[in-house]
Amino acid sequence: MDNRAEIRDFLATRRAKLTPEQVGLPAGGRRRVPGLRREEVAVLAGVSTDWYIRLEKGHISGVSDDVLDAVARALQLTDAEREHLFNLARTAKPARTPRRRAKAQIPASVQRVLDSMTGTAAFVRNGRLDILASNQLGRALYAPVLDNPDHRGNIARFDFLDPRAGDYYPDFDGALAVAVALLRAEAGRNPDDPDLTALVGELATHSESFRTRWAAHDVRIHRGGVKTFHHPVVGYIELAYDSMELVAAPGLVLTAYTAEPATPSADALALLATWAATEHQATEKTTHEQPN
C-alpha cells in the first residue's frame, strides 16, 4: 500500500471532521470544503503551515514523536487514531531489507485454553480477521462465517460478500464499520502484508459498501463491548466480548463472548452450546462409521 497516500488521506479525513468551533477557533467566512484548513491545524499543533502541508503530503519519515503528538492533539485523534498515525510514521521509515512475517502459529496451549472455556464462545484471529482457532461454542456462534469454504474463515469476507450477513447482524451497518476500521488499523501496522493487500483488493472489487467505508480511513481498537447476533439456530442473542492480544503469539487476538447471567441471551448461549455438542457428536459418529 502507498504509505504517503495513506498518510495524506488519513490526515485529510481527520481534518475534515473538525469544525473551528470544536477546537476553539473563530468560524470565519464561508469555507469551500468542510473541516479545518491546513493552516489552522498548523497553528493548533504549533508548527509552520509549510511544515504541516509537507506532513499531510506524506513526508512523515523522521518526524519526532513530540510533533506527532502535537498533531494528534490538534486533530483531536482518538487513541486508535493516534496509534494509527504513529504506525504510519513507523512504517514510512525505510528498511534495509523488507521484513517477511512468519505465518502465525497457534500454540497448542492456546487451543487448550480455548477448549477449556466451555461456557464461553471464543476464537483467535489475526489482524486480517481470519479466524485461526476456536472452541466448540465459538465455531457454533460463527457458523455462518465458517461454514462457507469461500470465506476461508475470514469475517470481513462474510460481512461484505455473503447475503446472510444482513440477517446475522442486527446492527449490520455497525458490524461493517467495525470490520473495515480493524482492517484499516492493520494496514497501518503492516502495510506490506500481501495477504492483507489481496483481501482489501478483493473486497473493494466486489463490494461498493466496502469501498465507501475504506475511503473514510476510520480506525478502531477492538478490546471490549457488547455485540448482538441473530443466529440461525438460537435467534437473537446479546453478548459481551473481551479481546486480548496474545503475548506468546504476536499479532494474534483472542476474543471471548459471554452472556449476562439469568438473561434470555444466557439461555440462548446455553442452547447453542447444547446444539454444538450434538452436532459434534453426530459428526464424530459419522466419521467413525465410515469404512476404512
Higher pLDDT, 156 or 118: 156
pTM assigned to the model: 0.89
Return the HEC string of the chain: CCHHHHHHHHHHHHHHCCCHHHHCCCCCCCCCCCCCCHHHHHHHHCCCHHHHHHHHCCCCCCCCHHHHHHHHHHCCCCHHHHHHHHHHHHHHCCCCCCCCCCCCCCCHHHHHHHHHCCCCEEEEECCCCEEEEECHHHHHHCHHHHCCHHHCCEHHHHHHHCCCHHHHCCCHHHHHHHHHHHHHHHHHHCCCCHHHHHHHHHHHHHCHHHHHHHHCCCCCCCCEEEEEEEECCCEEEEEEEEEEECCCCCCCEEEEEECCCCCHHHHHHHHHHHHHHHHHHHHHHHHHHCCC
pLDDT tens digits, one per residue of 124-179: 999 999 999 999 999 999 999 999 999 999 999 999 999 999 999 999 999 999 99
What's the chain's average pLDDT?
Answer: 90
Distance CA 217, CA 181 (A): 7
pLDDT at residue 234, as a whole number = 97
> Does residue 187 have a pLDDT over 70?
yes
CB-based contacts of 199, cutoff 8 Å, min separation 6 = 128, 154, 156, 157, 183
pLDDT at residue 92, as a whole number = 82
Portion of the chain with pLDDT greater than 70, in percent: 91
pLDDT (mean) for 208-224: 94
Residue 93 — φ and ψ, nearest 5°?
-70, 130
Q: Provide the b/e sequence for 192-224 (b: ≥16 CB within 10 Å).
A: ebeebeebbebbeeebeebeebbeebbbbebee
pLDDT (mean) for 61-83: 93
Helices 38-45 & 49-56 angle (0-180, nearest 10): 110
Gyration radius of the chain's alpha carbons:
22
> Does residue 287 have a pLDDT over 60?
no
